[in-house]
Chains A and B, each alone.
Chain A
Amino acid sequence: MTLVTADPATFQGKGVARRLMSRPPTAIGCIVALTIIVVAIAAPIVAPYAPAANDFDAILSPPTFAHPMGTDELGRDTLSRAIWGARASMLAGILATLLAVVVAVPIGLISGFYRGRIDGLTMRATDAMLAFPFLIVAVLLTAILGPSLQNAALAIGLVQIPKLIRITRGEVLGLREESFVQAAIADGAPDRSVIFRHILPNTLNVLLVQATVVLPFAILAEATLSFLGLGVQPPTPSWGVMLTAAQPYLGTAPWLAIAPGMAILLTTLSFNLVGDGLRDVLDPRLDR
């Protein structure tokens, strides 16, 4: 076995991007995902109407030129609400991912690097956390803290933490045995340096892929929480809230459900496509 003295390059920005875009499904996914993100950020500019603007002359109207996706029971434009809804869903997903990453990665790093008793304790704690299915945690949490976008994101993020700890830890355990890490330790580098300069950058692949998994989950989870009445505060639209509100009108005004339904489908699809592509490109070995 040869002694490798340099880290294998992991993130070669441009190379990755090029390889991603070379596959049609992934390319489409990237474009759609980026479009949705841009739309979410630029909602105030892109949306033709304000999300709470009532047009009392056009109640429950089917798609027309003035309202391409129809209006709801209070005369609000469905298309605009769907665009603003992107914000809520994106925000929920980003907050949840941030929470999960900020909490789980350091714990996973420490646990995997030091092993021993710390690792054992962490594993028991994650066992205990994993024992609670997402919905039970979410229902309890939103009942305690009150229903809101932040609390929904909190619940979603909390549920991702044990999984992310496990994944990070797994990677660290493996990386720790790699020759370049062993070399660094043998050289007498301080633990902190080994972790941050050698191990962490190599876990980024996996974390990035996980991030693209969290967002679709967050969107679906927010929709489900809204369905159960634990959603976002009115009149802020979120796709889940729109879907739930469209339910009584399925027979009479089906277009109310199409916009948020399609939005959810497109967003989760595109992010899943990107995730798949990233996984294939960054590390074909990964089959999580």
Chain B
Amino acid sequence: MSRYFLRRAGESLIALWLATIVVFIGVRSLPGDPAIAMSGEGREPAANALIRQRYGLDEPLPIQYLRWISITITGDLGTSIRTGQPVTAEILSRIPTTLELAGLAGLFAICFGLPLGIAAAVRRGTRLDYLAGSVGLIGLSIPTFWLGIVLILIFAVWLEVLPASGYVPFLEDPIQNLERMILPVIVLGSALGAVLLRQVRSGMIGSLGSDYVRTARAKGLTERQVVVGHALRNSLITVVTILGLELGALISGSVVTESIFLIPGFGRLIIEAVSRRDYPVIQGVALFSAVAYIAINFGVDLLYSYLNPKVRMGSTAQ
């Protein structure tokens, strides 16, 4: 067990290091100088030169990379050129917002996709199946931003039943917070829900036709016991797997959703930082998501290996 753990840990660290290089090169390849980008109309050469000097932007790239890596290892992600605040603080203040949005969206996706997927599989070939299938397909086929704009138009502008945008922290006013989350959660969760629906359905169909289930039925177990006992458990595993795989899609989706609904979250931070060429923030954000992803994967792999010793042999690990 410990050999596997060490090996995986080592591999994760290598992946992480590769990620930092990619991030750094990517960010520094952006055309446009942060000082010029942020000064807007107030272009003052002396002030811009000072900014460049203060953030070491005139030094050769490898030196800047080493400087960045050395402080990153200590957990310090640098200071934002725009606000002068520590990047770590800025990211940490935005993460809970996006976590809430993504979490609620995931919940919505599960509540919408799981039951429909199961029902469609159990009643395969019926009208319910076709209906669920269509809903799933449509959910996959609408661009996120489009759905958002249309929902705002209908519910906020024409019917005026929901707010058009904004965010109130949960601790400040839970009701307002949730009210403002309704549309964004629907927008973000729809595509994921559609994916879940389809995967759960096909997974269920597969296991409903499996030997194990046929045996159970032959033994005389009721349909419900068969469904809940075996097939359902399998589909829950599918759900967890999908959620893990689609984490990246959730972050991408949150970028667009947060932009439309003006939610000050992690996703929007990326767009704003790129637009301002705020190097420390962009690097910090990209690195943070890479670390999160790699760490989560590492954890999931460990969990799998604990549950299934065969995986440790490295044969069909995916």
Contact = CB atoms under 8 A, between A and B. Distances in A.
B151 to A, nearest CB: 12
B270 A269 contact: no
Interface string A251-287: 0000000000100110011001100000000000101
Contacts of A124: 11, 14-15, 18
Interface residues of B, number: 54
Contacts of A272: 137, 140-141
Contacts of A264: 141-143, 146
A224 B249 CA distance: 13
Contacts of A265: 138, 141-142
Most buried by B among A132, A265, A285: A132
Contact of B141 (A173, A216, A227): A216
Contacts of A243: 143, 146
Contacts of A144: 26, 29-31
A180 B140 CA distance: 39
Nearest to B267: A135
Contacts of B89: none
A118 B244 CA distance: 25
A136 B247 CA distance: 13
A272 B191 CA distance: 13
A131 B19 contact: yes
Main secondary structure of the interface of A (DSSP, over half): helix
A64 to B, nearest CB: 25
A170 B211 CA distance: 24
A250 interface: yes
B209 to A, nearest CB: 9
B83 interface: no
Interface in B97-148: 130, 133, 137-138, 140-146
Contacts of B249: 133-134
B153 interface: yes
B286 A132 contact: yes
B274 A139 contact: yes
Contacts of A25: 130, 133
B203, B252, B271: residue with the most chain A Cβ atoms closer than 10 Å: B252
A130 B248 CA distance: 8
B202 interface: yes
Interface in B245-271: 248-249, 251-252, 255-256, 259, 267, 270-271
B53 to A, nearest CB: 24
Nearest to A264: B143
B15 A135 contact: no
A59 interface: no
B233 to A, nearest CB: 16
A236 B257 CA distance: 27
Contacts of A130: 248, 293
B22 interface: yes
Given A133-B249, A136-B286, A264-B141, A127 B294 contact: yes
A287 B199 contact: yes
B206 interface: yes
A256 to B, nearest CB: 13
B30 A287 contact: no
B175 interface: no
A222 to B, nearest CB: 9
Given A139-B274, A140-B274, A128 B290 contact: yes
B225 interface: no
Contacts of A169: 318
A231 to B, nearest CB: 12
A216 B142 CA distance: 10
A10 B68 CA distance: 52
B203 A287 contact: yes
Interface in B9-35: 11-12, 14-16, 18-19, 22, 26-27, 29-32
A206 B81 CA distance: 47
A120 interface: yes
Interface in B290-315: 290, 293-294, 297, 315
7 contacts: A123-B317, A124-B15, A127-B297, A133-B248, A243-B146, A268-B140, A269-B138
Given A123-B317, A224-B144, A265-B141, 8 more contacts: A125-B15, A133-B248, A136-B251, A170-B318, A243-B143, A268-B140, A268-B141, A287-B206
Interface of A: 25, 120, 123-125, 127-128, 130-136, 139-141, 143-144, 166, 169-170, 173-174, 216, 220, 223-224, 227-228, 240, 243, 247, 250, 261, 264-265, 268-269, 272-273, 285, 287
